Amino acid sequence: MIPVWMKIKVVSKEGRKTTIPLPLFLVWIIVFALLIVVFPLILVAGILAYPFGRSKKIFCSYFMIYALIFSLSGLRVDVDSQEKDKTVYINII
């Protein structure tokens, strides 16, 4: 499943919380449109690289971009700052 929302939460040591929701589905529309536009170029590069034995790597790397995007759902990143006494939580839903 494609991640649809990303929530960024900043928590200070005093207990103050700030949450910023970002809609990722708007970004994915642009990303998938770019992937569709780039596909003919990847196809030509794969055909030209066939005599050198590199076409399989080119085609696999293109499709691994889709696998990377679909596997982002459920990712959570916690960043703790000792100097500024703040913690940042990034949650991709």
Kindly report the pTM of this predicted structure.
Answer: 0.73
Structure confidence by residue, pLDDT tens digits, 35-46: 999 999 999 999
What does the DSSP assignment read for the chain? ----EEEEEEEETTS-EEEEEEESHHHHHHHHHHHHHHHHHHHHHHHHHGGGT-HHHHHHHHHHHHHHHHTTTT-EEEEEETTTTEEEEEEE-
For residue 30, name the pLDDT band (cuts at 50, 70, 90). very high
For the chain, give every domain's residue range: 5-92
Flag whether pLDDT at 20 surpasses 90.
yes
